[in-house]
């Protein structure tokens, strides 16, 4: 167990909890698997299937961050993390096992950090493709509220360019 990594993650997250331990464990497994240093650019990408405490472990240890565009959410309410290495195309998906022992909080954290990886996660093939690198978009000004936003987030309505908050979706299920 890498105590420095755990301490850094706790400092980043603000408290120690089992959820954070899950993310830290996934991050350490990915770090070993790809022999990755902190992701300074977008080399290592994480697609996270939840938006819970563990995400902060990924950010603190791997440097996959929301702001850099190499931490993406694919919300499934599931403790699963998929990692992609852009250069090599290699991937790794870790899913928390369903039979994690039910322990008191402090012991659960210890268990999650120290149990053999096979007891904590199942490794599977990715359930999504590698996300494309972040693109740059032109900025458009919403003709209703006047706020600028990226082109991908604009819609046409009554012949005007409008932002998603000013747009009323017309979705009849097609
Ligand atoms: Zn937490
Ligand atoms: Zn608007």
Residue 125's SS3 state is coil
Distance 15 CA to ligand 1 centre (A): 6
The answer to whether residues 54 and 27 belong to one domain is yes
Q: In this predicted model, what pLDDT tens digit does every residue of 137-165 receive, in sequence order?
A: 999 999 999 999 999 999 999 999 999 99
Distance 69 CA to ligand 2 centre (A): 24
How many domains, the chain?
2
Two structure tokens written together for 137: 């978009």
The answer to whether residues 30 and 107 belong to one domain is yes
Distance 157 CA to ligand 2 centre (A): 11
DSSP 20-34: HHHHHHHHHHHHHHH
Domain encompassing residue 114? 3-124
Distance 171 CA to ligand 2 centre (A): 19
Classify residue 33 as exposed, middle or buried by CB count within 10 Å of its CB (0-12, 13-18, 19+). Answer: middle
Q: How far apart, in Å, are the Cα atoms of 91 and each of 12, 31, 42, 161, 171?
A: 26, 12, 14, 39, 35
The beta-strand segments (E) located in the chain are 44-48, 71-73, 80-85, 91-96, 121-124, 139-141, 148-150, 154-157, 160-163
**pTM of the predicted model over 0.75:** yes
Per-chain residues with Cβ under 5 A from ion ligand 1: 17, 19-20, 53
Q: Write down the pLDDT at residue 37.
A: 54
Distance 173 CA to ligand 2 centre (A): 24
The ligand placed nearest to the CA atom of residue 141 is 2
d(CA 137, CA 142): 15
Distance 164 CA to ligand 2 centre (A): 7
Q: In this predicted model, what pLDDT tens digit does every residue of 106-137 receive, in sequence order?
A: 999 999 999 999 999 999 999 999 998 888 99
The answer to whether residue 173 sits within a structural domain is yes
Distance 138 CA to ligand 1 centre (A): 37
The answer to whether residues 7 and 72 belong to one domain is yes
Q: Write down the pLDDT at residue 40.
A: 57
The answer to whether residues 105 and 143 belong to one domain is no
Q: How far apart, in Å, are the Cα atoms of 46 and each of 26, 39, 123, 138?
A: 10, 10, 15, 26
Per-chain residues with Cβ under 5 A from ion ligand 2: 142, 144-145, 163, 166
Q: In this predicted model, what pLDDT tens digit does every residue of 29-50 receive, in sequence order?
A: 999 998 855 555 668 999 999 9
The answer to whether residue 129 sits within a structural domain is no
The answer to whether residue 157 sits within a structural domain is yes
Domain of residue 168, CATH code: 3.30.60
């Amino acid at each position: 167990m890498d105590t420095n990594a755990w301490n850094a993650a706790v400092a980043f997250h603000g408290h120690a909890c089992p959820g954070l331990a899950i993310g830290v464990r996934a991050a350490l497994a990915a770090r070993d698997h790809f022999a990755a240093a902190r992701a300074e650019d977008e080399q290592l990408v994480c697609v996270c299937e939840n938006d819970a405490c563990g995400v902060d472990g990924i950010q603190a240890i791997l440097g996959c961050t929301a702001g850099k565009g190499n931490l993406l959410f694919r919300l499934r309410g599931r403790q699963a993390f998929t990692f992609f290495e852009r250069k090599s195309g290699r991937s790794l998906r870790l899913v928390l096992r369903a039979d994690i022992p039910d322990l008191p909080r402090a012991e659960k954290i210890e268990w999650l950090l120290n149990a053999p990886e096979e007891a904590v996660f199942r490794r599977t093939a990715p359930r999504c493709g590698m996300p494309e690198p972040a693109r740059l978009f032109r900025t458009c000004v919403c003709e209703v509220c006047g706020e600028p936003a990226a082109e991908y987030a604009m819609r046409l309505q009554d012949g005007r360019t409008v932002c998603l908050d000013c747009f009323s979706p017309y979705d009849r299920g097609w």
